[in-house]
């Protein structure tokens, strides 16, 4: 009863305040014209589009930076985590410094640092750094050449897909044969070969198109090629460096959780170092690594909301502009929260599924 | 006979010079296999590429106490930006004549933290000292009595603000987190589901959305004419956010308690509150001290997000220094300085937490 009356009091206050400031309620504003430009977008967008489209652009940008960030973070974090355990003193110490320093500096400060660095030290597009053909680095971002679109690319993608299917069946056959005869099939090398060779053959058959869409300097900026903005680079760099330090610690702890005896037993069975890592250590370490890794990767996704501070148009930044224009703060913030909640929940569901799967292998 | 003497002589032989001392250490740790040798040489080469130019920039060619005009001429780092602006960076808009007050408040906080490092001194008196310390700190910041001029909290800023937000944030979030953790264990479905929803919701959204809420939505809830200070609103958002994380950590401690503890308490005839207060919580909270310290560390780092709602914490004061045309373009130096402040504080706390973890581990 008390809760209800307090709730009613707050609710009536809110309505009175909204009415006084002439702010509409409800999600009707989503269909109105957004009337602001967005710096970078994965889908076509102009200021004449609706708020819904603008928010979708923001959401896609959030997903883009999170996905790319997660992939690089996992690779870099694993690398540093293994380096931390290296028998090479120099490498181990450098990895320790990397972990300690990057963990202890707030991620927002790191974002500001990289962003300022990009603006201060990189030249204007006219004097862009040009380390090799087709790549320019300036304070407008990184521009590099991409292949000109050609129908062959679609076929190459199909070939890659076919390679995937072939590998899937090859793997089943190899496992079966190994179980029956004990003969080991070099699966990894064959798969790698298939992934490279099949698209290459398709490319050659389609007439080997080599036309590139290279960036050229026009006026004060580049046209053509693929442009990575400094905001995106700073955001990605900051998020990846910060989170990879945590991931490295998790990987180190995971590897150390597998007892030395396991390695020694595997060695005495005659496995090679690569096999020991793949067949003995990783399957056991992953079980320790995955739960904390999930929460770190979710942290990365949530921290990508700091993009608003350096002007990268992620979901929070677009929603913030929307709030400022329409004044509908409650709806805007509810949407921000809902989006991140959905991302978090989906990721945890997926990671739980993966976690269960990797647990099932245990017998 | 001769053979035996030879053996004895061999036993007295020292190990070869290449296996001991500096050379032995280098061989064992840097060149113990051909690929490690390659890695070592590559890393040394890279370090030689990076470190000398950095030392040149940071120390040899740098300016320390010059004006900004001289800085622009020099090729090295311009630490003068710190020298010229450190008071603003550290204290924000706090009246310059009164800046000894936040300084003393910070010193009190640091000395309390240093005293609390030693676990032998943990006692009720220390807790009372902490409470007294916090009151004195609040009084020093606020003023308004005993001849101290009153300083409105809108003028608080810089490092004291960062410390207040994180230390007070955790202090207030801790009891709330414990209550939430107990609620999550509750047998009453309403309380349990409410706490679960709260904890999972807060943990699923970024802190920045909570700060936006405190900055934009919260004023809408209040009746006309009533305003609540901006810092206090941000503080409430940080407390609500941190409490959810504390709750998860405490839940870990509660789950680690063996069932026998509850049963023993039941058989003594203790009721729920007595069981929790006397038996379960003292043990559970002790286990979770190290993860609580890591929450303190992340709360400390997370306070930097108040920049986004334009509170003048130590990061924001640095940024406003950089927007001064005189000092524009020296962001690397300024950010490195602030990074160092954060690093020193966090490093201090994380080493302490690691040592504590070791101490507590042997105790059990």
Please judge whether B332 and A116 are an interchain contact, meaning their C-beta atoms are less than 8 angstroms apart.
Answer: yes
What pLDDT is attached to residue B340?
Answer: 92
- Chain B residues whose beta carbon lies within 8 Å of the beta carbon of residue A10: 221
ipTM of predicted complex: 0.85
CB A57 within 8 A of CB A43: yes
- In the A/B pair of chains, how many CB contacts fall below 8 A? 139
d(CA A144, CA A317): 27
d(CA A247, CA A291): 11
Q: Which CATH architecture has domain A43-121+231-360?
A: Orthogonal Bundle (1.10)
Which of B29, B297, B301 lies closest to A88 in CB terms? Answer: B29
Say whether residue B139 is in contact with chain A using an 8 A CB cutoff.
no
Please judge whether B208 and A104 are an interchain contact, meaning their C-beta atoms are less than 8 angstroms apart.
Answer: no
Average pLDDT over residues A55-79: 92
- pTM, to two decimals: 0.85
Return residues 56-115 of B near A (CB < 8 Å). Answer: none
- Tell me if residue A147 falls in helix, strand or coil: strand
Tell me how far CA of residue A152 lies from CA of A163, A196, B7, B85, in angstroms.
16, 15, 77, 60
Q: In what order do the strands lie in the sheet with A141-144?
A: A135-138, A141-144, A226-228
Residue owning tokens 């029956």: A180
Tell me how close the Cα of A114 comes to any Cα of chain B, in angstroms.
9
Closest chain B residue to the Cα of A319, Cα to Cα = B209
Residue B364 has pLDDT above 50, yes or no: no
Residue B111 has pLDDT above 80, yes or no: yes
A282 burial (CB, 10 Å; 0-12 / 13-18 / 19+) is: middle
Please judge whether A88 and B350 are an interchain contact, meaning their C-beta atoms are less than 8 angstroms apart.
Answer: no
CB A107 within 8 A of CB A253: no
Tell me how close the Cα of A46 comes to any Cα of chain B, in angstroms.
26
Domain that holds residue B214: 84-94+151-363
Kindly state the DSSP code that residue B14 receives in the 8-state scheme: P
Is beta strand A141-144 parallel, antiparallel or unpaired with respect to A212-213? unpaired
CB B68 within 8 A of CB B326: yes
Mean pLDDT for chain A overall = 83
Closest residue by Cα to residue A67 from A235, A223, A200: A235
d(CA A333, CA B180): 24
What pLDDT is attached to residue B107?
Answer: 86
Return residues 213-252 of B near A (CB < 8 Å). Answer: 213, 216-217, 219-224
- Chain B residues whose beta carbon lies within 8 Å of the beta carbon of residue A18: 220
- For residue B292, what is the domain's CATH number? 1.10.3720.10
What pLDDT is attached to residue A124?
Answer: 75
d(CA A312, CA A124): 20
- Chain A residues whose beta carbon lies within 8 Å of the beta carbon of residue B40: 88, 90-91
Please judge whether A108 and B304 are an interchain contact, meaning their C-beta atoms are less than 8 angstroms apart.
Answer: yes
* C-alpha of A281 from chain center: 26
Return residues 7-46 of B near A (CB < 8 Å). Answer: 29-30, 32, 36, 39-40, 43-44
Say whether residue B205 is in contact with chain A using an 8 A CB cutoff.
yes
- Looking at A32-36, A92-96, A185-189, A242-246, which range is the least confident one? A32-36
Sequence-distant (≥ 6) Cβ neighbours of residue A161 within 8 angstroms: none
Say whether residue B204 is in contact with chain A using an 8 A CB cutoff.
yes
pLDDT digits (tens, 9 = 90+) for B161-178: 888 888 888 888 999 999
Q: Residues B174, B180, B181, CA angle at the centre, nearest 5°?
A: 90
Closest chain A residue to the Cα of B215, Cα to Cα = A329
Q: How confident is the model at residue A94 (pLDDT cuts 50, 70, 90)?
A: very high
Per the structure, the count of domains in chain B is 1
Sequence-distant (≥ 6) Cβ neighbours of residue B226 within 8 angstroms: none
Please judge whether A109 and B222 are an interchain contact, meaning their C-beta atoms are less than 8 angstroms apart.
Answer: no
- Which of A62, A93, A101, A105 has the most B C-beta neighbours within 10 Å, making it the best mutation to test the interface with B? A105
Residue A361 has pLDDT above 60, yes or no: no
Residue A245 has pLDDT above 80, yes or no: yes
- Chain B residues whose beta carbon lies within 8 Å of the beta carbon of residue A273: none
Please judge whether B204 and A341 are an interchain contact, meaning their C-beta atoms are less than 8 angstroms apart.
Answer: yes
The residue ranges of every structural domain in chain A are 43-121+231-360
Examine residue B197 and state whether it is found in any structural domain, yes or no.
Answer: yes
pLDDT digits (tens, 9 = 90+) for B4-50: 555 555 666 777 777 777 788 887 777 877 888 888 888 889 999 88
Sequence-distant (≥ 6) Cβ neighbours of residue A119 within 8 angstroms: A139, A230
């Amino acid at each position: 009863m008390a809760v209800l009356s307090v709730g009613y009091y707050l609710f009536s206050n809110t309505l009175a305040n909204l009415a006084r400031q002439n702010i509409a309620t409800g999600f009707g504003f989503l269909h109105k014209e957004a009337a602001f430009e967005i710096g970078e977008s994965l889908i076509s967008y102009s200021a004449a589009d609706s708020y819904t489209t603008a928010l979708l652009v923001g959401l896609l940008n959030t997903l883009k930076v999170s996905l790319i960030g997660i992939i690089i973070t996992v690779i870099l974090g694993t690398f540093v985590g293994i380096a931390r355990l290296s028998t090479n003193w120099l490498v181990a110490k450098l990895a320790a410094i990397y972990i300690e320093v990057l963990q202890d500096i707030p991620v927002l400060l790191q974002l500001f640092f990289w962003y300022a660095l990009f603006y201060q030290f990189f030249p204007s597009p006219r004097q862009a750094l040009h380390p090799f053909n087709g790549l320019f680095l300036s304070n407008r971002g990184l521009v590099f050449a991409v292949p000109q679109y050609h129908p062959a690319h679609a076929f190459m993608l199909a070939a890659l897909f076919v390679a995937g299917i072939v590998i899937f069946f090859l793997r089943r056959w190899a496992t079966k044969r190994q179980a029956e005869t004990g003969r080991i099939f070099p699966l990894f090398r064959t798969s790698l070969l298939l992934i490279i060779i099949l698209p290459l053959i398709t490319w050659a058959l389609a007439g080997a198109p080599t036309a590139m869409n290279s960036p050229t300097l026009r006026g004060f900026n580049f046209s053509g090629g693929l442009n990575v903005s400094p905001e995106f680079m700073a955001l990605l760099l900051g998020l990846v460096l910060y989170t990879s330090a945590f991931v490295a610690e998790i990987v180190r702890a995971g590897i150390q959780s597998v007892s030395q005896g396991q390695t020694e037993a595997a060695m005495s069975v005659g496995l090679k170092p690569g096999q020991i890592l793949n067949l003995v250590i990783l399957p056991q370490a992953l079980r320790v690594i995955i739960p904390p890794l999930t929460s770190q990767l979710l942290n990365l996704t949530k921290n990508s909301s700091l993009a608003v501070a350096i002007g990268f148009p992620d979901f929070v930044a677009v929603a913030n502009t929307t709030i400022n224009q329409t004044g509908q703060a409650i709806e805007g913030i509810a949407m921000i929260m809902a989006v991140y909640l959905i991302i978090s929940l989906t990721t945890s569901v997926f990671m739980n599924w993966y976690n269960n799967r990797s647990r099932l292998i245990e017998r | 006979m001769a053979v035996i003497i030879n053996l004895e002589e061999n036993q007295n032989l020292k190990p070869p010079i290449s296996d001991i001392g500096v050379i032995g250490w280098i061989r064992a740790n840097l060149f113990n296999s051909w690929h490690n040798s390659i890695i070592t040489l590559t890393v040394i080469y890279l370090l030689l590429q990076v470190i000398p130019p950095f030392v040149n920039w940071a120390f040899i060619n740098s300016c320390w106490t010059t004006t900004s005009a001289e800085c622009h001429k020099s090729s090295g780092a311009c630490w003068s930006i710190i020298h010229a602006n450190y008071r603003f960076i550290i204290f924000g808009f706090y009246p310059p004549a009164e800046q000894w007050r936040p300084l003393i408040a910070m010193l009190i906080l640091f000395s309390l933290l240093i005293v609390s490092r030693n676990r032998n001194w943990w006692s009720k008196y220390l807790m009372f000292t902490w409470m007294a310390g916090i009151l004195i700190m609040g009084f020093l910041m606020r003023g308004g009595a005993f001849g101290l001029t009153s300083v409105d909290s809108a003028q608080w800023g810089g490092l004291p603000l960062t410390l207040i937000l994180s230390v007070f944030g955790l202090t207030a979030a801790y009891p709330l987190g414990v209550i939430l953790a107990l609620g999550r264990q509750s047998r009453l479905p309403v309380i349990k589901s409410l706490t679960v929803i709260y904890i999972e919701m807060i943990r699923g959204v970024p802190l920045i959305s909570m700060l936006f809420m405190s900055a934009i939505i919260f004023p809408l809830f209040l009746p006309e004419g009533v305003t609540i200070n901006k810092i206090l609103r941000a503080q409430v958002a940080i407390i609500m956010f941190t409490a959810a994380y504390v709750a998860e950590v405490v839940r870990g401690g509660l789950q680690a308690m063996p069932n026998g503890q509850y049963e023993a308490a039941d058989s003594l005839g203790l009721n729920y509150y007595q069981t929790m207060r006397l038996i379960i919580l003292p043990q559970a909270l002790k286990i979770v001290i190290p993860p609580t310290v890591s929450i303190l560390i992340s709360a400390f780092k997370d306070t930097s997000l108040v920049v986004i709602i334009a509170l003048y914490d130590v990061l924001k004061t640095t940024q406003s220094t950089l927007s001064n045309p005189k000092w524009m373009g020296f962001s690397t130096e300024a950010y490195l300085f602030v990074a160092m402040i954060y690093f020193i504080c966090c490093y201090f706390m994380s080493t302490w937490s690691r040592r504590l973890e070791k101490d507590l581990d042997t105790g059990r």
